[in-house]
Amino acid sequence: MTGDFPQPGQVIDYHYLWKWQDQRGETEGRKKRPSCVVVVAVDHNGLHHLFIAPITTKEPPNDRLAVLIPETEARRAKLDADIRLWVIVDEVNYDILEQSYTLEDRVPRGRFSSVFVEHLASIIKKIHSERTLGIAARN
């Protein structure tokens, strides 16, 4: 584990579990995909609670909420800047760092700017306040 992990905005390779997979009883993400650590909260026991959003190359359908990643942000995160990429913001994985069996590689590939991450986090928090955020708990 690197000394600065976890931090909001870090992009990691993560076995993301889609909410539809979670609802079917699946417990493992089918493949590693770039994902963004959007929120990190540390509790009174020192445990790191992570909210992780998936990144996809497939244009999301109209019924999904996603943010197109600007080319500059893709480069910062060490993603392919030559293709269109989105951060899905209407669902997240919830994981606790110290108890996680899915966070294998804890070395970020890159990171988004703080301004972009704050934008993502504000959208996710709004969706959460509306009680429409899909959350797959990974522990």
Query: Could you state, in order of their start, the residue ranges of all structural domains in the chain?
Result: 10-137
φ and ψ of 132, to 5 deg: -120, 10
pLDDT tens, residue by residue, 94-134: 999 999 988 877 889 999 999 999 999 999 999 999 999 99
Instruction: Report phi then psi at 21, rounded to 5.
Output: -70, -40
Q: What is the pLDDT of residue 3?
A: 65
d(CA 72, CA 94): 27
Mean pLDDT of 61-78: 97
pLDDT above 50 for 51: yes
Task: Indicate the residue type of 54.
Answer: P
Q: Residue 68: its pLDDT value, please?
A: 98
Q: What is the mean pLDDT of residues 44-57?
A: 96
Tokens of 26: 């699946």
